[in-house]
Amino acid sequence: MPNQDIPFDDRMLSLGLARVSEAAALASAKLIGRGNEEAADQAAVDAMRTQLNLLDIRGVVVIGEGERDEAPMLYIGEEVGRGTATGSGPEVDIALDPLEGTTLTAKDMPNALAVIAMGPRGSMLHAPDVYMDKLAIGPGFAADVVSLDMTPAQRVEALAAAKGVSCEDITVCILERPRHQDLIAEVRGTGAAIRLITDGDVAGVIHCAESAKTGIDMYMGSGGAPEGVLAAAALKCMGGQIFGRLLFRNDDERGRAAKAGITDLDRVYTRDDMVTADVIFAATGVTDGSLLAGVQREPGALTCETVLMRSMTGSVRRMTYRHPIG
């Protein structure tokens, strides 16, 4: 009979999680600049699934790549890990994006990542595949400095006041999308700078946690809800705040929320609402970016860079992996 009480040993599992993101990054790197988003994503998925099934866990994908009928992607509800068959290892929730930035990879553009987070069973929001209005800042601020109920201009003004600087000294990261046209105009109206990104809003949010290094003070705008949970897992480790409110365009999307057990459609989720317990988080660079170096080919080897984080200790490790090739 399976042991239901095996503790989540984040320290022992963390290096295994890094191997998972590394494998996905190395697999997808073969398709950098090839113009085939689907093939790059599938390569990352296959490698990530293989590595997950080597871990001694009983894992369930709660943030994945769609519903079960969209297999062979790592679908929501898929069971992974060696312990699934043997009954060994802890029960865990897994949030993942095997290739965050499929377009970035296909076009050889910066900031494509392989991303995964893991926590105890029941610790992560089962976010449906809909949009989420997001707002994030780095660590060191009071809980009520900014909120989703503020206008974009008020958020910039409030953060500038909290930092003791002018609005002109604030930089906001926003996804470059037609739906953000008014948002961009209002933020620029405050005098703040904007760093527009074409894809990869998990990396965009993470940048807020290291503003002194990245120059990004705040992230705002709408993007995928699953990516919001992944970003919350990263900020759980690094410090910082993220707020999210699900956005629904039609009854089908509201039905997805109901299927995920969400009843309050207007709720604003905080970081600790989206990730309720200690987690581990790993991201490996696929293409070069401001967060991580991309996969590099050297004589006889491929190298990649990974950031590995644990919320329990607040530790952040940066590791370089050299993978020999024939």
What pLDDT, on the 0 to 100 scale, is given for residue 67? 63
Asked if residue 199 belongs to a known ligand binding site, the reply is: yes
Residues, the chain: 326
State the pLDDT at residue 267: 96
Residues 6 or more apart whose CB falls under 8 angstroms from that of 88 comprise: 2, 3, 6, 56, 58, 82
134, 222 Cβ separation under 8 angstroms: yes
Predicted confidence at residue 1, as pLDDT, reads: 35
pTM above 0.85, yes or no: yes
Torsion of CA 14, 59, 278, 2, to 10 degrees: -100
Q: Is 253 annotated as a binding residue?
A: no
Residue 282: the pLDDT is 98
Per-residue pLDDT reduced to its tens digit, 23-62: 999 999 999 999 999 999 999 999 999 999 999 999 999 9
- Residue 236, pLDDT score: 97
Consult the annotation and say whether 168 binds a ligand. Answer: no
Q: Is the pLDDT of residue 2 over 50?
A: no
288 is in an annotated binding site: no
Was 179 annotated as part of a binding site? yes
pLDDT digits (tens, 9 = 90+) for 100-124: 999 999 999 999 999 999 999 999 9
Give burial (CB, 10 Å; 0-12/13-18/19+) of 177. middle
Query: Domains in the chain, please, with CATH?
Result: 10-124+279-324 (3.30.540.10), 131-274 (3.40.190.90)
Q: What is the pLDDT of residues 52-98, one digit of tens each?
A: 999 999 999 999 986 654 556 888 889 999 998 888 899 999 999 99
What would the two tokens of residue 130 be?
Answer: 């809909």
pLDDT tens figures, 218-265:
999 999 999 999 999 999 999 999 999 999 999 999 998 898 889 999
Say whether 200 counts as a known binding-site residue: yes
> What pLDDT, on the 0 to 100 scale, is given for residue 202?
92
Confidence of residue 6 (pLDDT cuts 50, 70, 90): confident
pLDDT (0 to 100) of residue 144? 86
The answer to whether 78 is annotated as binding is no
Distance CA 237, CA 274 (A): 13
102 carries a ligand binding annotation: yes
Instruction: For residue 313, say whether it is annotated as part of any ligand binding site.
Output: no
> Residue 86: what pLDDT?
87
Handedness of CA 214, 207, 212, 287 (dihedral sign): negative
Asked whether residue 149 is marked as a ligand-binding residue, the answer is: no
What mean pLDDT is predicted for residues 147-170? 98
Q: Is 129 labeled as ligand-binding?
A: no
Q: Binding residue per annotation — 201?
A: yes
Is 178 annotated as contributing to ligand binding?
yes
> Is the model more confident about 185 or about 1?
185
CA dist., res. 267 & res. 132, Å (int):
11
Q: What is the mean pLDDT of residues 204-230?
A: 94
